[in-house]
Chains A and B, each alone.
Chain A
Amino acid sequence: MRRGLSLVEILVAVAVCSLALGPMVNLLSSSNRASTASIYEVMAVHYAAELAEQMTRFSGRLDDILADARIRSGNPSLTLEDLLTDPGFTDELRLHLAETRAVPFQANGVPLKVSLFVSPLHDRFTDRRFEVRPLSTTGATLLGGGVFWDVKIVLSWQLSPSDPPDKHKAEFSVILRE
């Protein structure tokens, strides 16, 4: 008697494979995306920590940095928000370069003596920037009277080139006193 596979058997096997593998492939793909997403999330944490640590260290020197910036820019009312959201400085932050580099603060396009050291931004990261917002100290006693800023560190990335640039982002905060 000739042994072999009947067409029916093959068809059933193919059908079963299709039914089983389809969702599994989808699941695999989804897991891959999630894995990639978490990798980028961790990278974002490290990028942010790098900036946060340096910004925190500047905390006691902000007055000096701003005074210098005001003189160099000729703008006596220049604020920390102006400094950290300076277009030139922000463009420098989001550049994709090969090596760690120092990005000087800029005031109206004029570079200052103080820099931030930043790691190379991964190609999938589309943005690395600061958003700055003043905080109210109404009701505070020890911290009353000071000028405090919420310095938000924003990092955005794409999981695929077709994603919108800011589809995935992480936001961190440090509070600085001027």
Chain B
Amino acid sequence: MILGVVILISLVLGVFIFSYNSMVRQQNIRAHHELIGETAGMLAMTGVQLFADKITTSLNAIIMAAAPVLLSSVPTSPTISVGTGHPICTQMQADFDLLLGQLPHLVDQSVIPPRSPRCLSMDISFEGIQQISPNTDSVQFQAGRDPVEKLGEIVISCVVEHRGLRRKAQMRRQFRVVSMVPGPFARFSLFVPYTPWPYSYDALGVKYSGQIDTGYIHPFPAPRTYTNPLKIFNGTDSYSGTAPDDRADLRNRGWIFLGPSFDTSTGGATGTVLLRLPSGFDSNTGGHFLFCLPPNVLSGKEVVRPERIDDPAHFNLPPVAVATFQIGGLFQGYYTNDPGLGANQAMGAAGANLWSGLVANAGTGWTPSDRWYCASSWLYPYGDRNDPSRTLMVGPVLAAFLKMYFVKSTTATWKFLIPGLAETDYHPASDVPNLNMKFQELYKMPVSAPPKPGYTSYSRVMPLNADVNPSVYPPTSGYAFNTFFDFMKYPPVGTPFPNLDEGSTILGAIPKPYFVPCAEAMRLPPSGIKGLHPFEDFRVLFTESGGSDPTADPDNCYFSGNLMAFRFTAGNLLGRVTHYLDLSDCASQGEEDDRLKDLLFRPAVAADGAPGTTNWWVPKRAGIFYAKRRTTVSTGGDRLSLPGRVWLTKPFILIVEKGDLTIPQKIESPVSGGAPETLCSLVVLEGNLLVGTTDEIHAYLVALNPGPGGHGGGGRVLSADPPPTGSVRRLNVFGGVAAWEMGLYRSDPVRTTMGDFTDGGSIRYNPRFNPSSEVYPASRMFLMEEKASQILITGAD
């Protein structure tokens, strides 16, 4: 019996132990299964991560291949499925498989032949796609609207098989398609909505030859000498003079907006802006334009050709028997110094009696303090003589010039200027100054008596300046910039723009476009101001053929509204900002700078391809970054600073919420097609941009808002080390500049761009910022959130 009990107990124990053993074995198998499954899951997760990395680092290339409509078209469907059979997915699968085949410790030796983990499929799709700016109301168009910008979710999947187990990893990430063009103002090489007074830009002393007159001291707002102009080059190719297609050529160039000047009579910005063109014929000076007929080439030298007076109704050319004379004329710019004027040279152009209405007695009523009337524009919107650059001037901008007539003896020297005379001082029987002839011998008498016989003819050849009477404030007569520079003509499209086609035929005959043959237009009486391009109802279109009415063709219209009213605010950033940089808890400016550096930049390594070997910083990631500054920062106060020299490997826009931003050193991008390839924009919402280098900055600089309180509170591009003691007096930008104001005030000592950059510089427009150019779609970037919103690892079929 006891044996039976013992055997029974043993059997029970046996059953128990075998059950336990069976459970343990199951647990073992489950653990091993888990190990294999987890390994496969990790590999699948690696696969989706590598795919995501590839999409990020390829900077659009993968998206362009897999789903180009994301970057080029307005979304029409909330979902785009690429599919496992797409070449991009199969290629990625093959590449990942190649890597999986190099993991010897994961090779399954229990099968013949031994088998490595395998990638069975890769897939991407896009879900929940919607426009960032779906509204098409006027407010949206005033802010700028790119209908292609969108957001949604990308879903990346990868299936991996390991030791017979399959795992599928699926990653979801938010994405945005945003343009790296910061706004509609980027259509312009230079965008300056406000001008302190009409003569804000006229501060440069120029000699008659075109060389800079460094002896000239501009009196406003404080005595200062400007040693060079700020030249604007509006595209990558200078004007070739080979009759390009005007419409296409000008469409691809940056335009210029100079907003109206402050008018004391209205108490607002309603006045015109006057740019006095500088004098110059010396090609060695590199500057300036001459406005005359095409030049003669004599003995290999370009010689300004006298203008033939072919108006027999008013002119009676001297008979050959008396003398061989030519009456000539040329249009030229202003100058502050002419050695030929002798004792009057300090009067500049005024010494040639060009202001008969201003100076009661030629030469005698002039005072040294009046010399600023002869100073020319510090701003050259058209490049320079060596690199003329077309543009369209938008805004109430007048170009002022001089008209010099002379009588030239074939044997004597020329440039015998005929002085201006008031009609009351004119007498037909008087001798022409510097010429042994009387007026009535030189000019035909009109049939009708009044005005005084011959005076009408005489007035045709009197010297003049287009800035008829500088004492009128603001100027009300003059020639629109666009009229004057007819080689920059833009054919009208149902608008009152000037059509100066006749000028182009003359221009087509000459190889040097810096001679501006606009004689026909300049002979017209200045009845009103023709050729001003309005800024109050302005549109920036994506294509000219896509319609211009924002209500009928909203997706072809980028901007519609008043350029002067444009503000770069957080309101029109909604949805576009991809990263917020929170600096709000920083205790000091230094801490903010360090955090900005850590968040946005890293030191360059050799693989980045930066020129030279040291001290470059590169952006860590592409995106639109909004830096929220610490609460104690005030506009015009603490400056946030970039870390140093920046080599652009990824495009980015940095928007600084408040305060100033310092650009301490150069910003450089690889160059392609003659312009920086990687776009960078630096924006201060309420402060100023401070430039600490004279090296070229490859970026679009934006300081568009005057800041709290306005008037110098922000909205300017300034020098971080300004004159008179500082060394940064030159501004060089390859991209563009949009600043609320730039020009000098008349009496207010507030710092301005002009006051800080007395050595001028250059702004070269990067056509990649142009929403109307063919390359604009390339500015749109597909940007993913860095962290996945969801990663799922599941079994797979």
A interface residues with partner B (beta carbon < 8 Å) = 5, 9-10, 12-13, 16-17, 20-21, 24, 27-28, 30-32, 34-35, 37-39, 41-42, 44-45, 48-49, 52-53, 56-57, 59-61, 63-64, 66-68, 70-71, 76, 113, 135-137, 139-144, 148, 150, 152, 170-177
Contact at A49–B6, with CB atoms within 8 Å?
A: no
CA distance A48 to B105 in the complex (A): 15
Contact at A24–B2, with CB atoms within 8 Å?
A: no
CA distance A53 to B48 in the complex (A): 12
Q: Given A10-B2, A13-B6 in contact, is the A38-B28 Cβ separation under 8 Å?
A: yes
Is B21's beta carbon under 8 Å from chain A? yes
Contact at A35–B603, with CB atoms within 8 Å?
A: no
Using CB atoms, name the residue of chain B closest to A136.
B102
> Interface SS of chain A: helix, strand, loop or mixed?
helix
Contact at A56–B49, with CB atoms within 8 Å?
A: yes
CA distance A96 to B28 in the complex (A): 26
CB < 8 Å: which of B2, B10, B103 contacts A21? B10
Q: Given A24-B17, A144-B95 in contact, is the A175-B43 Cβ separation under 8 Å?
A: yes
A residues near B787, Cβ cutoff 8 Å: 57
Is B620's beta carbon under 8 Å from chain A? yes
CA distance A10 to B620 in the complex (A): 83
Most buried by B among A59, A67, A139: A67
B residues near A143, Cβ cutoff 8 Å: 50, 54, 92, 95-96, 98-99
A residues near B591, Cβ cutoff 8 Å: none
Contact at B53–A173, with CB atoms within 8 Å?
A: no
B residues near A173, Cβ cutoff 8 Å: 39, 42-43, 46, 103, 105-106
CB < 8 Å: which of B10, B28, B88, B100 contacts A20? B10
Q: Can you list 6 A-B pairs with a CB-CB distance of less than 8 A?
A: A60-B53, A67-B604, A140-B94, A141-B94, A143-B54, A144-B95
Q: Given A20-B14, A150-B102 in contact, is the A5-B42 Cβ separation under 8 Å?
A: no
CA distance A139 to B99 in the complex (A): 10
CB < 8 Å: which of A13, A67, A113, A142 contacts B2? A13
B interface residues with partner A (beta carbon < 8 Å) = 2-3, 6-7, 10, 13-14, 17-18, 20-21, 24-25, 27-28, 30-32, 34-35, 38-39, 42-43, 45-46, 49-50, 52-54, 56, 62, 88, 91-92, 94-96, 98-100, 102-103, 105-106, 598, 602-606, 620, 786-787
B residues near A177, Cβ cutoff 8 Å: 50, 53
CA distance A12 to B3 in the complex (A): 7
CA distance A10 to B3 in the complex (A): 8
Contact at A142–B53, with CB atoms within 8 Å?
A: no
Contact at B98–A49, with CB atoms within 8 Å?
A: no
Contact at A135–B99, with CB atoms within 8 Å?
A: yes
Q: Given A28-B17, A38-B31, A42-B34 in contact, is the A142-B54 Cβ separation under 8 Å?
A: yes
Most buried by A among B25, B62, B102: B102
Contact at B38–A142, with CB atoms within 8 Å?
A: no
Q: Given A37-B28, A170-B35 in contact, is the A56-B3 Cβ separation under 8 Å?
A: no
CA distance A53 to B27 in the complex (A): 25
Q: Given A9-B3, A64-B620, A135-B102 in contact, is the A71-B603 Cβ separation under 8 Å?
A: yes
Most buried by B among A49, A60, A137, A144: A60
Contact at B92–A142, with CB atoms within 8 Å?
A: yes
CB < 8 Å: which of A10, A35, A68, A71 contacts B24? A35
Contact at A140–B95, with CB atoms within 8 Å?
A: yes
CA distance A45 to B62 in the complex (A): 34
CB < 8 Å: which of A10, A41, A172 contacts B32? A41
A residues near B49, Cβ cutoff 8 Å: 56-57, 59-60
Contact at A174–B3, with CB atoms within 8 Å?
A: no
Shortest CB distance A66–B (Å): 8
CA distance A45 to B17 in the complex (A): 28
CA distance A173 to B104 in the complex (A): 10
Query: Other CB < 8 Å A-B pairs besides A13-B6, A57-B49, A59-B53, 4 of them?
Result: A42-B34, A42-B35, A136-B102, A141-B91
CA distance A165 to B56 in the complex (A): 42
Shortest CB distance A170–B (Å): 6
B residues near A28, Cβ cutoff 8 Å: 17, 20-21
CA distance A156 to B545 in the complex (A): 70
Using CB atoms, name the residue of chain B closest to A56.
B49
CA distance A120 to B488 in the complex (A): 74
B residues near A175, Cβ cutoff 8 Å: 43, 46, 50, 96, 99-100
Using CB atoms, name the residue of chain B closest to A175.
B46
CA distance A152 to B103 in the complex (A): 9
Contact at A41–B6, with CB atoms within 8 Å?
A: no
CB < 8 Å: which of B14, B20, B31 contacts A31? B20
A residues near B39, Cβ cutoff 8 Å: 172-173
B residues near A113, Cβ cutoff 8 Å: 598
B residues near A136, Cβ cutoff 8 Å: 102
Most buried by A among B2, B30, B49, B96: B49
Contact at A27–B21, with CB atoms within 8 Å?
A: yes
Shortest CB distance A41–B (Å): 4
Q: Given A52-B45, A136-B102 in contact, is the A34-B24 Cβ separation under 8 Å?
A: yes
8 shortest A-B CB distances, which residue pairs? Answer: A20-B10, A38-B31, A143-B95, A140-B95, A31-B24, A13-B6, A31-B21, A41-B31
Shortest CB distance B619–A (Å): 10
B residues near A150, Cβ cutoff 8 Å: 99, 102-103
CA distance A5 to B786 in the complex (A): 81
Contact at A60–B786, with CB atoms within 8 Å?
A: yes
CB < 8 Å: which of A5, A60, A172 contacts B38? A172
CA distance A46 to B255 in the complex (A): 61
Contact at A137–B98, with CB atoms within 8 Å?
A: yes
Contact at A35–B27, with CB atoms within 8 Å?
A: yes
B residues near A31, Cβ cutoff 8 Å: 17, 20-21, 24-25
Shortest CB distance A2–B (Å): 15
Contact at A16–B7, with CB atoms within 8 Å?
A: yes
Shortest CB distance A39–B (Å): 8
CA distance A52 to B14 in the complex (A): 43
Most buried by A among B21, B24, B27, B92: B24
Contact at A142–B95, with CB atoms within 8 Å?
A: yes
Q: Given A28-B20, A35-B27, A52-B45 in contact, is the A68-B99 Cβ separation under 8 Å?
A: no
Most buried by B among A38, A49, A152: A38
Contact at B38–A48, with CB atoms within 8 Å?
A: yes
B residues near A35, Cβ cutoff 8 Å: 24, 27-28
CA distance A173 to B17 in the complex (A): 37
Contact at A24–B14, with CB atoms within 8 Å?
A: yes
CA distance A5 to B34 in the complex (A): 54
B residues near A64, Cβ cutoff 8 Å: 602, 620
Using CB atoms, name the residue of chain B closest to A37.
B28
CA distance A152 to B43 in the complex (A): 11
A residues near B17, Cβ cutoff 8 Å: 24, 27-28, 31
Shortest CB distance A127–B (Å): 15
Contact at B43–A174, with CB atoms within 8 Å?
A: yes
B residues near A48, Cβ cutoff 8 Å: 38, 42
CA distance A177 to B57 in the complex (A): 11
CA distance A45 to B103 in the complex (A): 18
CB < 8 Å: which of B10, B20, B32, B62 contacts A17? B10
Contact at B99–A142, with CB atoms within 8 Å?
A: no
Shortest CB distance B601–A (Å): 9
Shortest CB distance A156–B (Å): 14
Contact at A45–B95, with CB atoms within 8 Å?
A: no
A residues near B14, Cβ cutoff 8 Å: 20, 24
CA distance A10 to B1 in the complex (A): 10
Most buried by A among B32, B42, B54: B42
A residues near B606, Cβ cutoff 8 Å: 76
Contact at B13–A21, with CB atoms within 8 Å?
A: yes
Contact at B99–A148, with CB atoms within 8 Å?
A: yes
B residues near A174, Cβ cutoff 8 Å: 42-43, 45-46
CA distance A36 to B120 in the complex (A): 35
CA distance A141 to B62 in the complex (A): 12
Using CB atoms, name the residue of chain B closest to A174.
B46
B residues near A12, Cβ cutoff 8 Å: 3
Using CB atoms, name the residue of chain A closest to B122.
A142
